[in-house]
Structure 1
Amino acid sequence: MPQPQKHLRTCNLCEAMCGIEITHDQGHILAIKGDPGDPLSKGHICPKAVALQDLHEDPDRLKYPLLKTPEGWEQISWENALNEVASRLRNIQAKHGNNAVGIYLGNPTIHNLGSMLTLMPFLSALGTSNRFSATSVDQLAPMLVAMKMFGNQLMIPIPDIDRTDMMICLGANPMASNGSLMTAPGFKNRVKALQDRGGKLIVIDPRLTETAKIADEHHFIRPGTDALLLMAMLHTLFRQDLVDTGRLTNHLQGINIVKNMVVGFTPQKVARITGMKAKDIRQLAINFAKAPSACFYGRMGASTQEFGTLTNWLITVFNTLTGNLDEPGGVMFTRPAVDLPGLANVSGNTGSFNSRKSRVRKYPEFGGEFPASTLADEMLTPGKGQIRAFVTSAGNPVLSLPNGRKVEKALQQLDFMVSVDFYLNETTRHAHIILPPTGPLEHGHYDLALNMMTVRNTAKYSSALYKPMPDTRHDWQIFNELTRRLQSHSPLKWAASEAQYLAIKKLGDEGMLDLALKAGPYGRQPEALSDMQKRMARFMYKRFPASGISALLDVSPYSRHTRGEQHNLSLKKLKQNPHGIDLGPLQPCLPERLGTQGKSINLVPKLFMKDIVRLQKRLERKTKPAPDSFALIGRRDVRSNNSWMHNSERLVKGKNRCTALLHPDDAKKLGINNGDNIIVSTRIGEIELPAQITEEIMPSVLCVPHGWGHQRTGTQLSVAEKHAGVSVNDITDDYSIDALTGVAAFNGQQVTVSTIKIEKNVVRLNDKRLASSSAS
């Protein structure tokens, strides 16, 4: 009789990349547990991993193409679906121009190997400038800072938490996320190890988060004032003569400019605005600077706010001026097996900013994309370049973008829309055709993007647990087929595109990954090269470190930082080591790895310096908010990440998590009791949800989670509909932005809170008034 089997893989439902062990009996999943042999997660697992089974078995998950008809959704063949999509897109572009088609990529895209490998050819074939993604509702700020300071948008510093003596978390909750732009599964265990070796974790946040509860210190701070705090901490460094830039001193520009820049931002002045005491601000800076090693880390609360770019810039400057950049225990840079940052340096594709502006609001592009805060405007505003057709991939912008009702309105008036998605959700219900890819357990997995963010270099490949169902398609197959159909029909271009199509089809995602691993810094030594050629390559590497040849060698097995001959990575070797392979701790790599001219770091990019004037005005503002006015912040739950996870009963069961947290003093002023439904409103609308009164939130701050709002009709999310909640983005103002980038300021927006009023025979509910007769 067959015995249960074990399948090892990486959970791809969030950024943590936890190793899991799936016990199954002839394909039927019996249990999902943490894999203690995984070199990164070491057995840690969070509740989300069970959703892999729920997703695979979900009767609501789509498997075959759907066409919207007057009678409803109709299943059609892949050939007809792909031909129809390509034909509709081409016809609209032929009539209105390439930019008449827009595209939005959701964040699950980066968790998918096939999508990552085939999206660029698809985008090239699509040929539109109207590109949008979750980047501009998530991590654009730290990526822009990386581009301006290190010359490469992918060179994001990662906290070396496993070797640090002090860690400060600002606007981040890794206990719920296990790290974001810091892949650190088992964060609680890593903090315990930090504390056991005498180190400290300090959390600065408007809420006593799950992370704050295990920290050594927690400081409340008013939302949106993080940049002011950092200016005061930098002021303290110079005032106390604590600036120490270590071995990078000769590669830094602008230290004196920073010193002059922070003169007016004293802890005393900043304390009034931030809500933190001046003595605490000073002591934080002093303790950080004097620690043997320390890392300052900020995330969503620090990024998606009015001064998100400035905050991320100042965090990097603070880490640098305390000697904690590119040093063990500080913030460091990864060396992934497929070295995307290194390849970007070699190709020169290290990022772009403001090379063009969006049509309606004139927002700057970043990395070829416009801020998603203006997506709806580009659809609703007539004129040349108006988006008339739309492509979405693994995204739900109706729930994830600001002013979701406006986004909804914009989608309703499109000429054509296609979604690559396996759910009929709040966004894809507006599509004319849905192309569902296979599920996570039906294809192999390797994290190309997230390996750039890990706190330790590792590599791991997960084979598929299940064979795809008959006549289904992987993401890479969908994009490859669409790319072929969209390519130009000129003979020369057609021949090149056909060759590309055939190569991708033959190699598949596994074949492409194998080539990338072999050519990467831990890959196989080229056997065809003679010993003389190998010695010559190493000579060129050492003799001409700034040359293009040296840069190319740096992302190959000849990398001086990886000694690739000891690893000989290939897909075959990863399959032979299903737990994953440990490639070692993060290593210092500057200045060689910089993509800047002259291999130097500019501490004061002009773009950021110009915004100091706006920050100064914020410091001088003295307006006092009304008693019913609150600063809005979001929150993350360990059982949730993207909105589609709400269709897993195991992840949504229990007490209602879509509640508004507010302080007891505020509740008393407004006459609100715990559990009362309240109205939260802004200029664009209002939502109704239960109040949860707690001292874990700062006074005059309201906290509402994102990703809910499943009450809309026309979806096929049977579990989520029963736990609908409300979408906080129905009230987030799409004109409340970081002025530097156009990124939506989800955190720190002012909202008004009121109780539900019953006046005579009229009951106010959401944005409707339901009249009832006194007789009833």
Structure 2
Amino acid sequence: MPDLQTHTRTCNLCEAMCGIEITHDQGHIVSIKGDKRDPLSKGFMCPKAVALQDIHDDPDRLHYPMLKTPQGWEQISWENALNEVASRIRNVQAKHGKNAVGIYIGNPTIHNLGSMLTLKPFLSALGTQNRFSATSVDQLAPMLVALKMFGNQTLFTVPDIDRTQMMVCLGANPMASNGSLMTAPGFKNRVKALQERGGKLVVIDPRRTETAEIADQHHFIRPGTDALLLMAMLHTLFRQDLVNTANLSSHMQGVNIVKNMVAGFTPQRVAKATGIKTKEIRQLTVDFANADSACLYGRMGISTQAFGTTTNWLITVFNALTGNLDNPGGVMFTRPAVDLPGLANLLGQGGSFNSRRSRVHKYPEFGGEFPAATLADEMLTPGKGQIRAMVTCAGNPVLSLPNGKKVEKALGNLDFMVSIDFYLNETTQHADIILPPTGPLEHGHYDLALNMVTVRNTAKYSPALYKPMPDSRHDWQIFNELTRRLQPLSPLKWAGGELQYRLIKSLGSEGMLDLLLRLGPYGTSPDQLSELQKALVKLIYKRFPESGLSQLLDVSPYSRHTHRQQHNLSLKKLQQHPHGIDLGPLQPALPERLATQGKSINLVPKLFMQEINRLQQQLDQKTKLSPDAFILIGRRHLRSNNSWMHNSQRLVKGKNRCTALLHFSDGERLGIRDGDPVIVSSSVGEIELPAQLTDDIMPSVISIPHGWGHHRSGSQLSIAQQNAGVSINDITDDRSIDAVTGVAAFSGQLVTLSTTRIEKNVVRINDKRIAATSIP
């Protein structure tokens, strides 16, 4: 009989943080199912979780350092690999300067405890200003809004979906993502509970998404006009005297400025531009303002467009002016067990913007990084500061950045490249050395980043299921070793970097986590304080509410917000509660949580006001699309998150999902039938893929999913290559950006659609090649 055992953990393949139970027989996985005792996911598990087994068993996965040679890839030792990487980086920087080395950090990094804890020392040792990450691919806009309005770039507003009476999703599809910057596993069950208590869900999207299918209302909206809609909704608030700032009136500045700036954006004028009727705009606003509680939530569709920053800002303003900011059932702030926003405030590191500009396009930095849309040009453009060497970590910019073919060309021209990744993919194939870390099931896990955006405060630690393979390395070990080798040598053995290296090596990721938990707001029980010490804590809060001492207490076990909850958290306690610990619902946190001057919300940052003129121009603009012109939007599927998910047979099996969604009327107008191959072209390239006709999308809008395009030679992803698809980013223009941030405007770009393509002396008609000379 098999010796069945159960391993409990949090799935870390996406933002949902689903609790799962892995049944195994001495390590051989028998089943993966949802953990009903997880306080956040309550038994829900999305299909991606099964890929944890596929990733662990994947024969394409790399386990040891690989060196590119004229004869091909060869395995080398860790010592040689780490020494070679450090030597090559130092040589490039010695010859061309510190900024001649760039780094790109991919999305999976935030799902990795070890990387989160050791990445910053590595960046410091690398010493370059040419830093890029997935932040500027999808979430920079809401982070900049948090910085400018609340004083901290990680102080996200999170929809309190479990207590709200009305939720509006604008350009978001949480049925596919289970929340993005809103960790809400089992979103469908949460919506069902919302509807059962008499509430409703409204979706506004150019496509009738999976979320729209379960919503009470769905409104089609023309891509890129979301900011105009919000301006009209704000106009309605003031016109119908629905503004409610009672809960934050003494901590909010700029209400009258908002009233003046929306004066010209009436629902009547905006209706034609957005495609949403005047009465629907007004009714939506009235319903939201009159609800007992409501939350307006937007995500990828609004963050990756030309008005991405503006739209995120207006969403926050709308929530604030309807009394739904920092109120139960509205949008609220988390208080995680490791309080990263609080620690940032304490250290005076709430974020930065525009402290310097990129070399080629003069885009502003954010949080120490430049927008990834300029990465390729920073590598290709000669001159002082040109990037000549790259470090990539858990990222695939060839498929995830705009104008992927230009990115591909740029990576191929580098003097040196190293990738910290366990796959040889479309990006890492350009590396000279690949350093593969352990897999998700081979190291412990705690969600440092995602606990900042959960719809309920929880804490959970997952130990490793498998022992790492002999002579393998965790991410934190790779970063720590590279950091040590890149730091300047000190004559004192225990000075600076050496001491840091030894400390991290000794503690490991689990030891560092334990310290953070013990010192966090749910750590050592305040009951252990004497009466005199308790009185002192109260006195500090009362007499010095905005001092550094108060900030220190706020991120400690003696926080005014959590002192009644005797959790006494530590790593050991989390290990004793493998299903996780419920830390309670989100609680009002303002103004204490703010890091702005005077602890007030700045409703109208000057930076964002500059966009009102551009919005006015968009409203006044009267353009008519040509018959073959379409507005491009992306698409996400529940089984597909990042490009590396496509190497799991269980996640890619079934009918082809890399299709171009078109409205039936467009198909009829252009003579396109369902399944016909179509060519989608832009100023930077073209792709060919099957058409999928539907009435779930607006006419003259085309939707193509991201993350595909595995046809490129050189990668070793056998299953993905059999289901290659095409990359949407081979037709996204890297020059199309959000003017405020320089972030790529993936959504809303214009493309042309055809079934005919001329290549040399051949005409292609409905996928049949005909010699051009034979056509009269």
TM range (shorter): over 0.9
Equivalence for 1:750:
750
Amino acid across the alignment from 2:632: L
**Does 1:82 find its partner at 2:82?**
yes
1:456 CA displacement:
0.2
Q: Deviations over 1:87-123 (max 9, x none)?
A: 0001110111000000000000000000000000000
Question: What is the rounded CA distance, in whole Å, between the counterparts of 2:760 and 2:450 in structure 1?
Answer: 57
1:104-503 alignment, distance < 5 Å = 104-491=104-491, 495-503=495-503
TM-score (ref. length: structure 1): 0.98
Q: Deviations over 1:104-162 (max 9, x none)?
A: 00000000000000000000000000000000001000000000000000111000000
Amino acid across the alignment from 1:154: T
Question: What is the rounded CA distance, in whole Å, between the counterparts of 2:294 and 2:713 in structure 1?
Answer: 50
1:542 CA displacement:
3.1
Question: What is the rounded CA distance, in whole Å, between the counterparts of 2:582 and 2:276 in structure 1?
Answer: 42
Q: Deviations over 1:624-668 (max 9, x none)?
A: 011110100001100010000000000000000000000011111
* Equivalent residues of 1:708, 1:726 under 8 A apart: yes
Cα 1:770–1:22, aligned 2, differ >3 Å: closer, same or farther?
farther
Amino acid across the alignment from 1:292: D
* Equivalent residues of 2:679, 2:757 under 8 A apart: no
* Equivalent residues of 2:526, 2:558 under 8 A apart: no
1:534 CA displacement:
3.8
1:591-740 alignment, distance < 5 Å = 591-740=591-740
Amino acid across the alignment from 1:720: A
* Equivalent residues of 2:164, 2:199 under 8 A apart: yes
Amino acid across the alignment from 1:373: A
* Equivalent residues of 2:106, 2:393 under 8 A apart: yes
Amino acid across the alignment from 1:461: Y
Amino acid across the alignment from 1:516: L
TM-score (ref. length: structure 2): 0.98
Give unmatched runs, 5+ long, in structure 1: none
Amino acid across the alignment from 2:158: I
* Equivalent residues of 1:487, 1:494 under 8 A apart: no
Question: What is the rounded CA distance, in whole Å, between the counterparts of 1:769 and 1:221 in structure 2?
Answer: 38
Amino acid across the alignment from 2:42: K
Question: What is the rounded CA distance, in whole Å, between the counterparts of 1:494 and 1:320 in structure 2?
Answer: 51
Question: What is the rounded CA distance, in whole Å, between the counterparts of 2:605 and 2:593 in structure 1?
Answer: 19
* Equivalent residues of 1:163, 1:329 under 8 A apart: yes
1:563-582 alignment, distance < 5 Å = 563=563, 566-582=566-582
Question: What is the rounded CA distance, in whole Å, between the counterparts of 1:245 and 1:42 in structure 2?
Answer: 35
1:550 CA displacement:
0.4
* Equivalent residues of 2:178, 2:187 under 8 A apart: yes
| Greater mean deviation of Cα atoms: 431-440 or 484-493 | 484-493
Question: What is the rounded CA distance, in whole Å, between the counterparts of 2:335 and 2:693 in structure 1?
Answer: 45
* Equivalent residues of 2:172, 2:301 under 8 A apart: yes
Question: What is the rounded CA distance, in whole Å, between the counterparts of 1:426 and 1:773 in structure 2?
Answer: 38
* Equivalent residues of 1:686, 1:766 under 8 A apart: no
Give unmatched runs, 5+ long, in structure 2: none
1:768 CA displacement:
14
Question: What is the rounded CA distance, in whole Å, between the counterparts of 2:642 and 2:763 in structure 1?
Answer: 33
* Equivalent residues of 1:224, 1:747 under 8 A apart: yes
* Equivalent residues of 1:522, 1:564 under 8 A apart: no
Question: What is the rounded CA distance, in whole Å, between the counterparts of 1:344 and 1:241 in structure 2?
Answer: 38
1:535 CA displacement:
3.0
Equivalence for 2:762:
762
* Equivalent residues of 1:663, 1:697 under 8 A apart: yes
1:587 CA displacement:
0.1
Aligned residues: 774
What percentage of aligned pairs have identical amino acids? 79
Question: What is the rounded CA distance, in whole Å, between the counterparts of 1:591 and 1:238 in structure 2?
Answer: 25
1:544 CA displacement:
1.5
* Equivalent residues of 2:136, 2:743 under 8 A apart: yes
SS at match of 1:247: coil
Q: Deviations over 1:276-311 (max 9, x none)?
A: 101100111111000000000000001000100000
Question: What is the rounded CA distance, in whole Å, between the counterparts of 2:124 and 2:33 in structure 1?
Answer: 41
1:611 CA displacement:
1.1
* Equivalent residues of 1:523, 1:564 under 8 A apart: no
Q: Deviations over 1:161-200 (max 9, x none)?
A: 0000000000000000000000000000000000000000
Q: Deviations over 1:581-608 (max 9, x none)?
A: 0000000010011000001011100000
Cα 1:767–1:741, aligned 2, differ >3 Å: closer, same or farther?
farther
Cα 1:249–1:565, aligned 2, differ >3 Å: closer, same or farther?
closer
* Equivalent residues of 1:65, 1:435 under 8 A apart: yes
Q: Deviations over 1:671-701 (max 9, x none)?
A: 1111000000001110000000000000010
Question: What is the rounded CA distance, in whole Å, between the counterparts of 2:141 and 2:329 in structure 1?
Answer: 23
1:537 CA displacement:
2.5
* Equivalent residues of 2:676, 2:766 under 8 A apart: no
* Equivalent residues of 1:686, 1:767 under 8 A apart: no
Question: What is the rounded CA distance, in whole Å, between the counterparts of 2:765 and 2:355 in structure 1?
Answer: 46
Amino acid across the alignment from 1:294: A
Amino acid across the alignment from 1:24: H
* Equivalent residues of 1:521, 1:564 under 8 A apart: no
| Greater mean deviation of Cα atoms: 486-495 or 605-614 | 486-495
Amino acid across the alignment from 1:140: L
Q: Deviations over 1:735-758 (max 9, x none)?
A: 000000000001000000001358
Cα 1:191–1:565, aligned 2, differ >3 Å: closer, same or farther?
closer
Amino acid across the alignment from 2:78: W
Question: What is the rounded CA distance, in whole Å, between the counterparts of 1:757 and 1:444 in structure 2?
Answer: 52
* Equivalent residues of 2:152, 2:594 under 8 A apart: yes
Q: Deviations over 1:703-755 (max 9, x none)?
A: 00000000000111000000000000000000000000000001000000001
| Greater mean deviation of Cα atoms: 213-222 or 534-543 | 534-543
1:2 CA displacement:
5.4
Amino acid across the alignment from 2:594: L
